[in-house]
Structure formats: structure tokens, C-alpha cells
Structure 1
């Protein structure tokens, strides 16, 4: 254990005396939080929705058929009570709900006015706005067709309700994305060059002849970056709460526990890259290009995954940032507990164990 602590201290010294490393570790998160102040608006396809039709009349069915015929929406269920609907929103299974009141057609034809309630998950404000605009457009088209045949125009009023983010702020979308992006880049890149640095400086030979076991060498490389990454998590969360006025709706303990798991996953991936490469330049290039684009493209941070072709949706499942992005949004924005994110947690745990075992086996072979 004394040897392990000595190796951890040595790794801390490497980090703390390098100003460029400190700039990457602590400057990048703060810069990303400031820069990512605007979210992108994208076309939406195949958004998961539910429709609750209490009217079950010709008018409601006609609108439902129009919604189902569009490629914007994927109707998951046409009957759902309010409790199940709330659970589905929290678990991220649906993005929008449309509720038709009883006597919808009668109110429309006799009173020339009928409401439709539209409930959207506004944890991603641009996505929610786009969905509600699509629904309003479909309803408006139906209303226009009706008014062509009557003297007194009918009026259907969608009643919009934005869950989790009524003001449609951008922060609830980009803060979880920045957390995933920064932790992925910092954790992977810093650990990716750690063992390679030992190779280039010649100190790896000392490790090869020492009685220090390979697993302790790997852990001693990972522990300092785990601690520093947790400091990054704390700084991002504090900035989101006190600067961006984005409170953490769920458990802080659960948020940090899940962040720790994601950091460990990134560290094992970085160690794997470090073992497989022979120079710091190659390790840094692989960690930057190999992690930056997948995190940006396949995490759901920049572009909705539902818009992508099925093969790309399948590929996104192996990107750890996708699952962490879902977890952070669920905890910070929706205030859910572990019961709603246990599947994503198990996936991250599986990825971490996979890369740790592969790294350990590769390191043993290299020692022989």
C-alpha cells in the first residue's frame, strides 16, 4: 500500500507542476460552460409521444391520424393515465403527450372552440419547442380544412405545457452535455498519455523489474485523475447552480456517484489507449479525435439520436457519453432517483469493467 501511495503522489506531481495540464484540467470546463450558451435547433423525426384521447370522436381521431401519418412522431401508446405518463416523462421514454378532453368534437362544432393539451419534456428546450410547433401546425391544418366548409370558423386552441423547463432556458440542455464532453476528453486524454510518458522517459523499465503488480500501476495512474475530475464535476455543478441558476432537482450524492462511475469508465478507456500506443502524440491524437467526435455526435447533446439512421443509433449505444448525458439530465433536470437510471448505470459499469480487464491483460503481456 505504501508503494501504491508513492506512485499516486508521483502522478500528482507530474500533473501539478505542468501548467498546460492544469489549464486543460481546470480551464476547459469553465470555458466550455461559458461558450456553450446557445443550443442548436435541429429538425426532429420519430419523436416518441403518447396520445390520451378522452373524446374518442371523429374529430380527435382525425387529428390523431394526421399526427401518426407524419414522420415527426412515433406514437408509443394511445391510452395512458396521468401517473404512467409522468413516469414515462421522467424515464425519458416519451418526449411529448397530447390530451384530448371529453366532448372535444361537441365543443368544437357547437361552441366553435375546443382545447387540446400538449405536454412536452422541456429539459431540451429547442427539442420541445420544435415538437410543439409541429403539433400546432398539424392542428392548424386540420382547423383550416374545417373552416373552408362553414360560415362561422371553428377554433382549436392547443394548451402548451413545458415540463422541467418552463422558461425554455438553454442551460438545462448544455450543462449535462458539457459535463459529459469535458469529463470524457480530460479523463481519457490525461490518462492516455500517462503510461506512454513512462515509456518515453525510460521509467517503464524500472516498473518492469519492480515487484509492483500491474494492477497497482494502472490504479496509481488513474487515481489522481479521478480526484481531479471530481473537482471538475463540482466546479461545473456549482457554476450551473450559482451562475446559470440551474438547480439540481435530484440527489447530489447520486449525481456525484454516477459522475464517478463515468469518470472511471473514461479512465479505463484512457489507460487502454495508453497501453496500446507508443508515443504521447499518438495517444493524444487518438483520445482527442476518437472521443471528441463521438461525444459530440452520438451523445444526444448536439443532435437528437432519434433523427439518425438505425445503424448510427446502434453505434451510439457504445458511446459512454450518451448514457452519462441521459443520467445527468435525469438527475439534475427531472429529479429522478436511481430506479429510473439503473439501466444506464449498468451499461456504464459494463463498459468500465470491459476496458479495465482488457487493459490489465494487455499490460501483463507487455510486462512479460
Structure 2
């Protein structure tokens, strides 16, 4: 399976499903003009395969809310008298706002919007034979300098915590089996829950130390401070750590040897975290089955939480859905682990 199956899977994933191109990126339009020219450009944006026109908003508050919710990648704002300025002054302005917490996607989205505007302008000049000009004013939100750290640091946090937590706990219980010390634990008066808890607590402490090191380096070395609540970020990170530990314990209970547990934790967790968290490849570009699969990957939800709190500076009211998903995944892993834990060795 590894020799012949993995090359086929990698070719299909990297060649077909995973791409850095922009497809069906959600955008909104703020149309103060509501004239012929603005409606024509909006129609072109909606017809493009690059964008998915979510809705039109009419207020600045709604626009900021859409960006903070993380449901849109960009917004196009048409000012009042847009068509009138084109006809009488031969030039007009539009504003393009992009979520630059992912600088690569933001750059591609703004370039595609600008290209569609240029195409409209070219077609209009051919019909009217008048030198029109539309000047796009581009504004990058949350990361105006288009630095890589705002996208890199949350992804590394999700990857490091996932691998360390899962891999360390994955070999904990199976190691007791191989060393023959599991019999001592099984004849002790401890409940299975306490045995599992005793394996998780040390790694929770070590993972929190890793978290502190990452946040310290990102703040002082990469100049990427936490814009939101630090306590909220630590709390959400602790929840993610517990989720990863519960998954590692489940792997440890099911595996027959340390080598098997190590292989499952490395291969089984590294690839989903890289591919399906949204860290390297936009999830909205993937086929629908892969988008559905990504919903069961805990690092996807943690990556969204870290970007929202650390980069956008939002509060709990914007990430409560992702938090509930992580809590649900953690409970499922813990229940399966407790049910699978056998008090008798085979």
C-alpha cells in the first residue's frame, strides 16, 4: 500500500485537489452607486469562476463583521455616482478590501478583481470610443505589509502542537504494554479514566511550554504580537492540546507496538494537518468530498481560531462555533478511548 498506493494518492491530491489558485473565493459587494456601471461589474464578478458572490452589504459595520467572521476573502466597494463620474469625468474609483491574514490569497484575489474591472473598462471603451479610467484603491486588512508571519505562525502552532501531543501520547500506553508494566496498572485500584488522565497531564504541561515558546518567539523575533486576548488564545490552545492528547491516547490503545503508534501518529496526523487545515492550501478550492473530510480534522478549527484571535484580534463571540466543534471532537475521542481501554491484557 505504501509503495504503490501513496504515489497514486499524492498525484491525485497535489495535481487535482490541492492548488493555490483562487476558485470560488467568497466576496461581498458594497454598492453605494447602484447604477448601470456598478451592476455590470458586479455581474461579471458573480459570473467569474474565481469568486462566489455571497451577498451585498450596505454598511461599514456589516462589512467589518463579514471579515471578522472569516466568511469572506475580499470586498468590492463602489462609491456614489460611480457611473456618473465615468461619463462626465472619464474616471472613477473603486475600493478593494482583502483579508491579508493569508497574504498569497489576498494578492491573488485583488489581482483577479482588478483584471475583471480592466476587462469591463476595455469593453466599454470599445463601444464608446472614450478613454475611461477606473482606479482601484487596494487595502489589505490585518496585514498591510503582506508579511508571511501572520499566516506562517498559526499554521506552525497547529502543526507543532498536533504532532507533539499526538506522537508523545501515542507511545505512552503501548509502551507500558511492551515493557510489561501494564499488568501493574491493571491490578491497581485505579479506574481506567485515571490511568488515561495520568498519561495526559505531563504532556499537557510540556505542550503549554511549547506554546509559550512559540508565542514568545513570534512576538519578539517575528514582531507578531497577539492582537486579541492572550488568555483566550491560551484557553483555546489548551482545548486543542487536550483534543490532540485524547487522539494520541486512542491511537496508543489501539496500536500493538510503539513503531505502529509512531507511524500512525506521524503519517496519519502530519498529512491531514498540512493538507486540510487551510494552512497551505485553501479549503474552498478543494472538491466537495475533501471539504467534508477537512471538517473532522481538529487542526483546521484551531487554525481558524488562532488566526481570528492572534491576527484579527476578535473575541470569543466570533469563534464560539469553532470552539464547540473542538469540544465535540475531544469528547468523542475521549469516549472512544475509555470504551476501547481494556482492563485485561490479551
Distance 1:270 1:96 in 2: 38
Q: After the TM superposition, which residues 11-50 of structure 1 pair with which residues of structure 2 at under 5 Å, given as runs?
A: 42-50=20-28
Aligned length: 329
For structure 1, which segment, 259-268 or 149-158, has the greater mean C-alpha deviation from structure 2 after superposition? 149-158
Distance 1:63 1:276 in 2: 57
1:219 and 2:197 aligned: yes
Check conservation: 2:192, 2:343, Cα contact below 8 A.
Answer: no
Check conservation: 2:173, 2:249, Cα contact below 8 A.
Answer: yes
CA-based RMSD of the aligned residues comes to: 1.4
Distance 1:240 1:53 in 2: 39
2:227 aligns to what?
249
Q: After the TM superposition, which residues 166-177 of structure 1 pair with which residues of structure 2 at under 5 Å, given as runs?
A: 166-177=144-155
2:89 aligns to what?
111
Distance 1:301 1:190 in 2: 23
2:158 aligns to what?
180
Check conservation: 2:186, 2:344, Cα contact below 8 A.
Answer: no
Distance 2:289 2:339 in 1: 31
Check conservation: 2:31, 2:58, Cα contact below 8 A.
Answer: no
- Counterpart secondary structure, 1:43: coil
CA displacement, residues 147-186 of structure 1 (integer Å, 9 cap, x when unaligned): 2244441000111111100000000001000000010011
1:239 and 2:217 aligned: yes
Distance 1:320 1:80 in 2: 35
Distance 1:181 1:351 in 2: 17
1:139 and 2:117 aligned: yes
Distance 2:57 2:278 in 1: 28
1:76 and 2:54 aligned: yes
Check conservation: 1:60, 1:104, Cα contact below 8 A.
Answer: yes
1:338 aligns to what?
316
Distance 2:215 2:289 in 1: 34
Check conservation: 1:52, 1:98, Cα contact below 8 A.
Answer: yes
Check conservation: 2:100, 2:146, Cα contact below 8 A.
Answer: yes
1:203 and 2:181 aligned: yes
1:62 and 2:67 aligned: no
CA displacement, residues 181-209 of structure 1 (integer Å, 9 cap, x when unaligned): 01001100000000011011100011111
Distance 1:367 1:221 in 2: 18
Check conservation: 1:121, 1:164, Cα contact below 8 A.
Answer: yes
2:68 aligns to what?
90
Distance 2:332 2:179 in 1: 29
1:294 aligns to what?
272
For structure 1, which segment, 101-110 or 73-82, has the greater mean C-alpha deviation from structure 2 after superposition? 73-82
Check conservation: 1:241, 1:248, Cα contact below 8 A.
Answer: yes
Check conservation: 1:241, 1:247, Cα contact below 8 A.
Answer: yes
Distance 2:193 2:221 in 1: 41
- Counterpart secondary structure, 1:236: helix
Distance 1:168 1:242 in 2: 19
Distance 1:176 1:366 in 2: 42
1:194 aligns to what?
172
Gaps of 5+ in 2: 1-17
